[in-house]
Structure 1
Amino acid sequence: MQYVCPICGYVYDEAKEKTPFEKLPEDWVCPLCGAAKSLFIIKQDAAPVKRELPPIHMDEEFLHFTAGELAALCSNLARGCEKQYKAKESEMFKELAEYWAAVTPEVPDASLNKMEEMLQDDLNNGYPALRQAALNEGERGVQRICVWGEKVTNSLYSLLQRFQKSGEALLADTSVWVCSVCGFIYLGDKPPQLCPVCKVPAWKFEEIKGRDAV
């Protein structure tokens, strides 16, 4: 039987590896991207059955962003402008992102469990609904965003699970690398030669140091 990593596509073939997947230790991770064992799915030849999802309806509340959401939005726009060699616009969005980040209040009931619930909701409901809406509209750009975004969200969920089991020991004596293009996070002394999600080279990764890595 074969098991597939939903993040980078690595296939664990029991026939070649000589060890049943279920016999692997629980702390085993994908050798390419570091995804947790629990994320792997059985490889199937048949196309997955598409489930019907309710359409996405926009309302006025959706347009009222929080300070934290505006910080993330402006940060992404800054990165987008940078990729288009629009340095002036990029700096302006960076200033806006820094401002909104500075005025973002702390979340009083923040916890790892709540973060896990939010990631699960994105994976179980958010991305499937967005993907279906993009398919209905023939919007290929949004479909591509869903592919990368879902893989990165899966990797974040995997890291969160590993952190909950190992705590600070997970980050001890290792470096934290973030792909500047898609946001994939990698733990290791050096970044991967190619990003498992968007396939950019290692020099596109940025090292996160100090408390920013926690």
Structure 2
Amino acid sequence: MIEFKNVSKVYPNGTYGLKDVSVKIEQGEFVFVLGSSGAGKSTFLKLIMHEETPTSGEITVNDFKVSSMKQKEVPLLRRSMGIVFQDFRLIPNMNVYDNVAFALRVTGTPTRELRKRVPFVLDLVGLVDKAKNMPTELSGGEQQRVALARALVNKPSLIIADEPTGNIDPELSMEIVDMLDSINKVGTTILMVTHEHELIRRYENRIITIENGTILSDRPDWRSV
């Protein structure tokens, strides 16, 4: 669950990232966040991940009081979420298996569990046969699927997908969103930031539109936009 109560973020130069935002996303929802460049989408995500702290207001994510949490609690918050970036952010000198396994190793997961979990998520994203390949040997769509597998491997209750289709072609974009949709159907909350209005028309999901740091609209699906 994600909840913002009257949240504002003002940067040192006086620019507002968000202005008095109140919104609630329930566990198990799939929500698209729309907005143009500079609208406030990145600030919204950074506040959820505790990369930024609010100037005012309260934020709760997965039962963590993010707006007032101690720094030592931040790793626990981030282990409860998986993050998929537009630019993949794969480790170039690690193969596919090790890129996914890295997310488990940094949390001290036992080797026995790691050897079960990594092949399982690679199978989910259709990349078992690419486990030994390096990132440079993969297409853009395959690299994004590795990034998705890495986000899934810790069994997060929340996945944040930040423009995950921005660097791949339209057909592969649908493939990635279909995968996210399937993951959502087993109870994982999905928060996907995008500017692609056409992409979301295949899905009957809630759409939050951010403009000038405020919630311009919060609609149950694209037909009401």
Confirm or deny a common fold (TM above 0.5): no
Q: Which structure is higher in RCO with an 8 Å CA cutoff and minimum separation 6?
A: 2
TM-score, reference length from structure 1: 0.27
Larger proportion of strand: 2
TM-score, reference length from structure 2: 0.26
Structure label with greater radius of gyration: 1
Larger proportion of helix: 1
